[in-house]
Amino acid sequence: MKRLYDELGFGRTVDQSIQLAHPCITDTVVYLTELNYRNLVKVSGYLKTSLFAITLLLLAASLYAQVNKPTSITSTPIPFSKSQDFIDHKTKIAEVTFPGIDYDYLNPEDSDDRPVHITDLLKYLRDNRCLIEAGQLFDAESVGNALKATKQFLSERGYIAANVVVLGEKLQGEQMKLIFSIEKGFPSQISRIVFRGLKYFTNEELADVLITCLGDGWRTYDKRKIEYCTMKYVREAMFSKGFAQLKIKSISRRYAGDSFEVLIDVDEGIRYTFGEITVEGATVFKEKEILELLGYSTGDILTVKHCRILFMKNLPINILKKAMFSIVLNSSRNLCNLRLKEWILR
């Protein structure tokens, strides 16, 4: 039993068991050890080669990023500092972008929500002949004009402190991407509206008319809407009081701290009233009858409506059937003398 126990190797150490085993086992262990060593050497070589290749790739990527990094062309409209990467009338503009501008209306129904939309900006640039589109050749002067117009557009929409920087990204070949980077900031607020040159009207009277037209968001500066409301509703309010020769001379703004005042210069002109109204040669129709059809009396204010009717010769047909008329303006006395002559249609 002990012999069988010893033959099976029980009670011996591992080294003793290997030595008593078949000689090929020892040779195999030595071979595997040498093989593992050679493999480790190869793997180490592969790792060194891979690390070197990765280092080269990272270096190439870094150099590519430096070459293709957007290059600042200018931060001021004029004079325009040219970049060495972009050549006038040679480098082709492949794309034009305006990051920082609104591409969607958030809530068109909200009067306080007045985003600066890309379509409005492009239309403004086109109207001012400053629009730059893909496919054009780079021109430093044209880009400077577009930059100046973009700042003016933002200023007219209330973003007076907006910052616009033009960047150029070099692309493959002689191409570039033109970037107008925009930081609008917060819109400036209107503190009050001032009408200058008034004699007969009060500032509050006309300012109320303008604010009513502008709505609840009247403090947010919008040059287009201010001009529209002034030329339409303020003019009509003054015309209705007899100032038919009224002129809106200019609309500007004056800064007052963080806000500003809107200044509207007006020339009220002459206020006409109806003076002498006469009917000449009344034979068939009575003078009183013609005057009643006319509806005007001495002392009445000559309004825009009256001007349209009289100067455009648009009197009611029942008057035209009975009288022809002529108008004489007496500027020295601010009177409109109206003469009607009986006229019978044949």
Mark whether 177 and 89 lie in a shared domain.
Answer: yes
Is the bond preceding residue 23 a cis peptide, omega within 30 degrees? no
CA distances from 171 to 16, 86, 107, 111, 182 (A): 74, 11, 37, 42, 22
Closest by CA to 222, choosing from 160, 275, 264, is 160
Residue after which a domain boundary falls, among 152, 183, 214: 183
Supply the pTM of this predicted model. 0.54
Q: Is 109 part of a structural domain of the chain?
A: yes
Task: Output the six-digit token pair for 213.
Answer: 């037209």
Number of domains the chain contains:
4
Top-confidence residue, 170 or 333? 170
299 and 336 share one domain:
yes
Per-residue pLDDT for 91 more than 60? Answer: yes
Q: Beta partners for 339?
A: 278, 326
Q: Is 246 helix (H, G, I), strand (E, B) or coil?
A: coil
Query: For residues 55-75, b (16+ Cβ closer than 10 Å) or e, as one string?
Result: eeeeeeeeeeeeeeeeeebbe
**With 70 as the cut, is the pLDDT of residue 37 above it?**
no
pLDDT classification of 2: cutoffs 50, 70, 90: very low
Higher pLDDT, 228 or 170: 228
| 102 and 77 in a common domain | yes
- Least confidently predicted of 22-36, 152-166, 250-264, 298-312: 22-36
The token pair that represents 51 in the structure block: 């690390």
**Is there a single domain that holds both residue 166 and residue 100?**
yes
Among 221, 248, 267, which residue terminates a domain? 267
Average pLDDT over all residues of the chain: 72
pLDDT value of position 160: 82
Q: pLDDT higher for 273 or 21?
A: 273
- For position 171, what pLDDT does the model report? 85
Q: Is 125 helix (H, G, I), strand (E, B) or coil?
A: helix
C-alpha distance from residue 224 to each of 6, 158, 177, 230, 297 (Å) = 109, 11, 31, 10, 40
- Cα–Cα distance, 325 to 311 (Å, whole number): 10
- CATH number for 201: 3.10.20.310
Is the same domain home to 306 and 207? no
- The CB-based long-range contact list for 315-323 (8 Å cut-off, 24+ gap) reads 318/293, 319/290, 319/293, 319/294, 321/345, 322/284, 322/285, 322/289, 322/290, 322/293, 323/279, 323/285, 323/290
Q: What angle do CA 138, 142, 143 make, to 5 degrees?
A: 75
Q: Are residues 157 and 217 in the same domain?
A: no
Q: Which residues of 169-196 are buried (b: 16+ CB within 10 A; e: fewer)?
A: bbeeeebbbbbbbbebeebbebbebbbe
- Does residue 57 form part of some domain? no
Listing DSSP states for 275-315 in one string gives EEEEEES-SSS-HHHHHHHH---TT-B--HHHHHHHHTT--
pLDDT band per the 50, 70, 90 thresholds, residue 125: very high
41 touches 48 (CB < 8 A): no
> Which stretch of 185-189, 279-283, 321-325 has the lowest confidence by average pLDDT?
321-325
Domain that holds residue 223: 190-267
Q: Is there a domain that residue 150 lies in?
A: yes
What pLDDT shows up at residue 184?
87
| pLDDT digits 0-9 by tens, 264-312 | 999 988 877 777 667 666 666 666 766 666 666 777 776 656 665 555 4
Please check whether residues 83 and 156 belong to one and the same domain. yes
- Evaluate if residue 202 carries a pLDDT over 90: yes
Q: How far apart are CA 264 and CA 226, in angstroms?
A: 10
- pLDDT at site 5: 43
| Paired strand residues for 167 | 72, 179
Residues 208 and 225 in one domain: yes
Residue 128 falls within a domain, yes or no? Answer: yes
pLDDT-based confidence at 222, cuts 50/70/90? Answer: confident
Tell me, yes or no, whether 26 and 79 share the same domain: no
Overall average pLDDT of the 173-179 stretch: 88
Return the pLDDT at 133.
Answer: 92
Q: What are the residues whose beta carbons fall under 8 Å from the beta carbon of 66, sequence distance 6 or more?
A: none
Q: Do 164 and 80 lie in a common domain?
A: yes
pLDDT of residue 113: 47
pLDDT at 300: 75
